[in-house]
């Protein structure tokens, strides 16, 4: 290969591009509408090709998934069998309580997650980058999916719509470092906020109302539904899996595992929920 001679006249072009990038980053951080529109247009333009590629390569992806995740699936299977046995017993104990609770909610006319309608969407793909926890779904503003909507799956909370174009929407998952969810604990009904951790699927529980509250491993966390909350109340979010109460620490280190397997989602529901002044009893 011949030796390349640097040319100082080329530097202004590079400097100009660097400045352009810095301007774009600044504008985007200030939530500029033009940039959001540009992103939406790009996503809509590529959407049909993405669909075609997805259709062609989905068998390849499935085989790859099968090969790379078989160990994990076996472990999951054993763990889930044990959990099902435990939950079946718990379900029968709580069936009676649930009936009383739904009667009380009806009497008090409190909005409940069961009252919320939504848009069912298919998960198309995961994040294109390595440092974000997002999913893309096949519905957008054209089908009524807008930024801010709560996303749920059968087991519980998935995340929140953070970007939406006409035919696509991006969901930021609850284990994303930038997303906090206001929750309350199952038994002590303490309020707290979950926080995702980079490279980890577990959520850290922070801003606990009463750090000395008797929160136990295995306890479930539900959306708090406080006044003006972005999420409807009482959606299951996660299960407490580890509690470290180190002497001298003000707050215990509590980790919770999302109830939904966020890596294996096929369908989700975007809830039509307008934040209200409603609260749930004890939910704050």
Partner 1 sequence: MRAVRYFLLVVTLVVLQTALFPSLRLWGAAPDLLLVATIAVAYERGPQTGAIFGFVAGLAIDCFLSSPLGVSALAFTLVGYGFGVFQGGLVRSSRWMAPLLGGLGGLLGGFLWVAVAAVAGQDGLFAGAAIRTVFVAALYDAVVALAVFPFVRWACGEPEYAHR
Nearer to partner 1, 147 or 216 (CB): 147
| Residue 35 in contact with partner 1, rule: CB under 8 A | yes
Residue in this structure with the two tokens 């509590």, named with its chain if needed: 254
The residues that bridge with 191 in the sheet, in sequence order, are 184
Structure-token pair, residue 36:
């959001």
| Residue 130 in contact with partner 1, rule: CB under 8 A | yes
Structure-token pair, residue 6:
């640097």
Listed ranges 52-60, 70-78, 234-242, 253-261: which one lies at the site for partner 1 (CB under 8 A): 52-60
| Residue 230 in contact with partner 1, rule: CB under 8 A | no
Long-range contacts of 38-45 (CB under 8 A, 24+ apart): 39/163, 39/165, 40/163, 40/164, 40/165, 40/166, 41/165, 43/165, 43/167, 43/168, 44/140, 44/165, 44/166, 44/167, 44/168
Euclidean distance between CA atoms 111 and 235, whole angstroms: 12
What is the dihedral sign for C-alpha 226, 230, 232, 238?
Answer: negative
| Residue 98 in contact with partner 1, rule: CB under 8 A | no
3-state secondary structure of 20: helix
Backbone angles phi, psi at 78, to 5 degrees: -65, -45
β-strands 191-197, 118-125: how paired? unpaired
Q: How far is the CB of 166 from partner 1 (least distance, A)?
A: 14
3-state secondary structure of 35: helix
| Residue 20 in contact with partner 1, rule: CB under 8 A | yes
Choose which of 8, 14, 77, 228 interacts with partner 1 (CB under 8 A): 14
Choose which of 102, 103, 198, 210 interacts with partner 1 (CB under 8 A): 198
Residues 165-194 that bind partner 1 (CB under 8 A): 170, 172, 177-178
Q: Is the distance from CB of 231 to CB of 181 less than 8 angstroms?
A: yes
Q: How far is the CB of 64 from partner 1 (least distance, A)?
A: 5
Nearer to partner 1, 43 or 269 (CB): 43
Choose which of 159, 196, 236, 283 interacts with partner 1 (CB under 8 A): 196
| Residue 253 in contact with partner 1, rule: CB under 8 A | no
Q: How far is the CB of 82 from partner 1 (least distance, A)?
A: 26
Q: How far is the CB of 92 from partner 1 (least distance, A)?
A: 38
Residues that bind partner 1 (CB under 8 A): 1-7, 10, 13-14, 17-18, 20-25, 27-29, 35, 38-39, 42-43, 46, 49-50, 53-54, 57-58, 60-61, 64-65, 68, 124-132, 134, 136, 162-163, 170, 172, 177-178, 196-200
């Amino acid at each position: 290969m011949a030796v390349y001679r640097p040319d100082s006249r080329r530097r202004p072009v590079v400097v100009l591009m660097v400045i352009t990038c810095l301007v774009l980053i600044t504008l985007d951080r200030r939530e500029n509408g033009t940039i959001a529109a540009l992103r939406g247009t790009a996503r809509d333009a590529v959407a049909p090709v993405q669909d075609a590629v997805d259709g062609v390569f989905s068998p390849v992806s499935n085989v790859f998934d099968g090969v790379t995740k078989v160990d994990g699936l076996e472990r999951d299977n054993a763990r889930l069998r044990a959990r099902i046995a435990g939950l079946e017993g718990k379900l029968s104990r709580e069936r009676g309580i649930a009936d009383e609770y739904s009667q009380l909610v009806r009497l008090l006319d409190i909005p409940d997650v069961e009252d919320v309608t939504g848009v069912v969407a298919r998960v198309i793909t995961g994040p294109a980058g390595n440092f974000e926890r997002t999913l893309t779904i096949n519905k957008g503003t054209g089908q009524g999916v807008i930024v801010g909507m709560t996303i749920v799956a059968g087991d519980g909370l998935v995340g929140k719509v953070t970007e939406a174009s006409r035919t696509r929407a991006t969901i930021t998952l609850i284990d994303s470092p930038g997303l906090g969810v206001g929750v309350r604990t199952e038994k002590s009904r303490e309020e707290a906020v979950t926080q995702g951790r980079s490279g980890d699927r577990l959520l850290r529980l922070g801003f606990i109302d009463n750090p000395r509250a008797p929160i136990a491993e295995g306890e479930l966390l539900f959306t708090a539904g406080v006044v003006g909350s972005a999420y409807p109340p009482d959606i299951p979010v996660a299960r407490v899996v580890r509690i470290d109460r180190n002497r001298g620490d003000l707050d215990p280190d509590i980790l919770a595992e999302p109830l939904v397997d966020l890596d294996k989602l096929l369908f989700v529901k975007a809830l039509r929920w307008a934040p209200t002044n409603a609260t749930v009893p004890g939910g704050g």
